[in-house]
Structure 1
């Protein structure tokens, strides 16, 4: 088959799969059309859209989701890593119900925030002091603002395909980005990054780094890359911000622990709110104590819901009782085994597909060539769409882009069934995946 023949067959297969999908989801389609009358594009969160339309979910329990048409899915997306605890952990639910009875918004300090802050500082050794926010995006904005305010410098070094929130995205055009003066380097490019730090050292406030590209394709940083950046930033007085909004789940002390690096600031979000809006930034005392309002000239950090009682209480129980260091190890070992099984399956069928990532976060890509940066990834939109639709038709929910973030309730049996489903899709469409 020629390349043109393969592309034509791929488009035909995708069209057939989409027709089956549409036929099986009439209620979700109707709800999507209704949503378009009040929400642009029928949604209020761009990442949740996919063609021909996303299903509407009506319930979640454990590792399962149910949609408006009554289909049940094994949830392997885990709310893009925010849904680590699944949909109904009894310990989290008990904490939330207790708070609902106690009252929601006090407009003052509460008992839970101190305990959650203490638990985070105990878990993540680089964090001496921290502040809560409402999202990872906010956390990264405040971390960058802190670096700029403390250093008196303006520039921020970021990495191509990096994602630090809706207004800090470096995956293609991003006209809504916060208007900082950015320097953009290639991920895992040691010489290029070192040269940029050296060249701009006098006006470089911060380097912000994901220790694994999350939204950029689950591409891990090399230890050499991260440690070299740490040495260079320390040498030139540049603040190193490690964005662990996604990756803090990959080891008891975050991926920074596995890589052996101590940043100046770390940002958090996602699962640490146990399913509720959450963000935090923290790190070295000399930086974070600038937020002490009792000190003249302190930095201001307001936020109505920063310490909302539901998030604080749920997050505390989640981190202390659910996602224990032992649970961290077990979940990430399960993710590593899944990645190995998928790659063995792809090799067995001789298809150009691979699974990347670390631990419980995986990325599926349609190529054999190595992936060390976002620039290496073949977008393959039709292949990604075909796999996504075919897996949903088989009862598995992942992101359209091929991203998975395993929640704690997922069992080995669930993952074995998922591997079987992927194998069925690959066997059925082997001709267009070679």
Structure 2
């Protein structure tokens, strides 16, 4: 698609959005028709709420490397990265070869296999907290089973999570209570607020089985936890015999051993998912041997037909054993940090009330100034700017998450990063009247 070429105009946000939606719709008649068909058989026209947005979602036809092509023939630089699950891009030949070999050996074998243990050995060796591990089909399942282990181990029922946190489709606290959430007794605490969170822990200590958090919020806005905050939680969990769970479903990509290794703070349990099986459906939970022993035969049960499916096991061994080594992880984090710095320099150059947060390859735009240390409810203007940014990036041939999040894949190099900066620069220029600093 053509670079963003909107001339700066002193239009209001509503007018700019209406124009951007009109251009988006006119360019995608096939996606519009596909959405109409889908709505006839699926509520909302999709089976994954995250992928719905207005006017209608763009339907993709295929992908190669770090590029996507939609069903209207437009080509995009893919910076969404399947919300961190697409770390290896769309067509890594080593992963494809592993999958083809697995298919040739047969599917759905209804048994344990050597690759299951081999994959487990790789992951136990990577993450400081993981002495024993079990596999699931998603990060959501991994968090559910980790919570069950903590409840069984401690004999308590309560969970402490963070305001605005997200740990899967039935463990979402973005808006507080959610009718689809699993019926755990959950108490919410303020992220990165040491005193406030410790106060809640002391009050609820006798009822808490687990403290669950991401060491950097992903869906909550790519907001890193401070090391002091994580250390305070580690100390409080130890003092009160509460199981500390780091949800590293997204953040495990930042070093060979996740953010727990980067910070030198070891949780009791860790949950994984997203990219770890090379793009196949996957989740895992692991940690201290005594806690994971809750799943020894005769204790807690943990079923799941596809937990050790041959595709995820084979692709995961290749992805984590052969491709995503320490040097690859460090280089990816460095590329992401450099890109975020360049994006923030661009915003500052234009005097825009816009900034990008995150660590390494996970980056999120925010349309406000000042330190962002915990999730917040965006104003209507901020939400409008977020949509406008997404639509303008689509117009420029850049595919990001609707909320603006970027998750770099390994095929994204310096030239692709420069392409993103080159799209954000004219966005800041063209939308300058809407991005004035207060």
Bin for the TM-score computed over the shorter chain: over 0.9
Partner of 2:246: 242
Structure 1 counterpart SS, 2:206: coil
Partner of 2:21: 18
63, 66, 89: which one aligns with 2:66? 63
CA RMSD of aligned residues (A): 1.3
Partner of 2:397: 395
Given the superposition, is the C-alpha separation of residues 188 and 357 from structure 1 closer, same or farther in structure 2, using an over 3 Å criterion?
Answer: same
In the TM superposition, 1:90-101 aligns within 5 A as 90-101=93-104
In the TM superposition, 1:248-259 aligns within 5 A as 248-259=252-263
Partner of 2:45: 42
Partner of 2:215: 211
Structure 2 counterpart SS, 1:374: coil
2-structure distance, mates of 1:69, 1:406? 24
1-structure distance, mates of 2:173, 2:62? 34
In the TM superposition, 1:21-420 aligns within 5 A as 21-172=24-175, 173-293=177-297, 297-375=298-376, 380-420=382-422
2-structure distance, mates of 1:9, 1:260? 48
2-structure distance, mates of 1:219, 1:244? 14
1-structure distance, mates of 2:227, 2:10? 38
Q: Is the 8 A contact 1:367 1:378 kept in 2?
A: no
For residue 271 of structure 1, report the CA deviation from its aligned partner. 0.2
Q: Is the 8 A contact 1:168 1:177 kept in 2?
A: yes
Structure 2 counterpart SS, 1:252: coil
For residue 290 of structure 1, report the CA deviation from its aligned partner. 2.1
- After superposition, what is the alpha-carbon deviation per residue over 1:286-331, rounded to whole angstroms, capped at 9, x for unaligned? 01122121xxx42111110000000000011001111111000001
Gaps of 5+ in 1: 1-5
Structure-1-length-normalised TM-score:
0.96
1-structure distance, mates of 2:197, 2:277? 33
415, 425, 428: which one aligns with 2:427? 425
For residue 370 of structure 1, report the CA deviation from its aligned partner. 1.4
Q: Is the 8 A contact 2:355 2:369 kept in 1?
A: yes
1-structure distance, mates of 2:106, 2:324? 26
Partner of 2:6: none
Moved over 2 A (4+): 375-379
Structure 2 counterpart SS, 1:202: helix
Structure-2-length-normalised TM-score:
0.96
Partner of 1:3: none
After superposing the two structures, state which structure 1 stretch, 375-384 or 153-162, moved more. 375-384
